[in-house]
Amino acid sequence: MSAVAVGGSLLVAGHAGPPSWADAVPFDVHLPSTAEVLAALAPDPAHWVVGHWAVVTDRIVTRSVPAPDGTPGTRDDNVLRLRRTG
């Protein structure tokens, strides 16, 4: 995380789960939540105080993803944006 300049942002995005039309992820994979990503980046909560990093965005975004047969569907994605404050 030292590659991010003060005032800069680190953006982490990833799937929150399988598409609405899929029963499950078709392979063995863990799709981490934003809380898990945050914990992996800095397990020490002291890093998230003013002077180090600030959480700017921590949310799930739902987008349209059609099934292979064209049936409408959705998929949730995790979005985590951090700003380096010091």
* Angle, CA 80 vertex, CA 31 and CA 57 arms, to 5°: 145
Count of CB atoms situated within 10 Å of the CB of 3: 7
Q: pTM for this one?
A: 0.82
What are the boundaries of each domain within the chain?
Answer: 16-84
Give the Å distances, CA to CA, from 24 to 7, 30, 46, 66. 39, 12, 36, 16
pLDDT over 80 at 13, yes or no: yes
pLDDT-derived band of residue 14, with 50, 70 and 90 as boundaries? very high
User: What per-residue confidence (pLDDT) applies to 45?
Assistant: 67
Task: Give 40-53 pLDDT, tens digit per residue.
Answer: 887 666 666 656 88
CA distance 72 to 51: 45
H or E segment to which residue 61 belongs: strand 53-64
